[in-house]
Amino acid sequence: MLYKPAYAVVLDRDRARSLSLRHMFMVICGLSCEVYPDPESFLEEQTGDHPPKVIILGDVDDRPRALRAVASQHQSFVLVIERPGDALTVENAFLAGADDVLRTPFTLRELALRLRARIGMLESSDSEDLFLEASNWGEEAYIAERAGLTESEAQILHVLISNSGKIVSRDALSLAIDGRAWDYGDRKFDVHVAKIRKKLTSTFGDHISVQTVRSAGYILSIDEVGHADLMNAIG
């Protein structure tokens, strides 16, 4: 298999966390990301010619050995996620080659801001609004993962949840996702929203919903029960 370099690589067998991290990089930050359940799978595909900018080491077997293997073969920024009670202590992680250690619990925004400070990820005036958004990245990633949204559906969810309670026009969606104005008559977003609505209803009932506002666009709503459930789930 031909290896294609990604901006970020996540090595973690914790499926929920790895998908949340992938959502943060790809959907929220617009950067490429690949997820592997173990370092061996990644190392077999990596050629070394174009290493990822950042490697995140989560829950894998023999973490000290895995960290040494990754840190010794690549010029990537290696960030280790703390695992309480692990043999790989913070001190040992740095001794084994880690560039940074992220203590748990943490938020996705905290991780993104840490990477901006350490390696300049999205360090531009154009990206400043992204970090100032009021929406909760963790809630968004949890909803997308639990509902089983595709990448295209997750991108639409990101725009809708960033404007939760407000009508988002098809033109706004097209500009945010495709970088161009919406073509009148194009039903792409209608089809995607219909699928998103079905998945959200199946997973969260009426507590998280997307409504189509005739001739205007779409509006995502999360009621009090939905907010409480999300806080309990990611808290």
Characterize 140-161 residue by residue with b for buried, 16 or more Cβ atoms within 10 angstroms of its Cβ, and e for exposed: bbbbbbbbebeebbbbbbbbbb
DSSP states of 98-124: -SEEEPSS--HHHHHHHHHHHH-TT-S
Phi then psi for 33, rounded to 5 degrees? Answer: -150, 140
Residue entry with tokens 């748990």: 104
- Say if residue 7 is exposed, middle or buried (CB neighbours under 10 Å; 0-12, 13-18, 19+): middle
Which two structure tokens, joined as six digits, stand for 22? 């992938």
Domain coordinates in residue numbering, the chain: 8-124, 133-234
* pLDDT of the residue at 48: 63
Rounded to an integer, what distance in angstroms lies between the CA atom of residue 167 and that of residue 173? 11
Q: What is the predicted pLDDT for the residue at 20?
A: 94
> Is the N-terminal amide bond of 105 cis, ω within 30° of 0?
yes
pLDDT of residue 232: 84
* DSSP designation for 204: H
Q: 82 is written with which tokens?
A: 């703390």
Domain 8-124 falls in which CATH fold?
A: Rossmann fold (3.40.50)
One digit per residue, the tens of pLDDT, for the chain of length 235 reads 444 679 999 999 999 999 999 999 999 999 999 999 999 999 888 766 788 999 999 999 999 999 999 998 778 999 999 988 887 899 999 999 999 999 988 999 999 999 999 999 998 877 787 887 656 899 999 999 999 999 999 999 999 998 888 999 999 999 999 889 998 888 899 999 999 999 999 999 999 999 999 889 999 999 999 889 888 877 6
End-to-end distance of the chain based on CA atoms, in angstroms?
39
**pLDDT of the residue at 1:** 42
Phi, psi (5° rounding) for residue 208? -130, 115
CATH code given to domain 133-234: 1.10.10.10
Tokens (6 digits) for 186: 């194009």
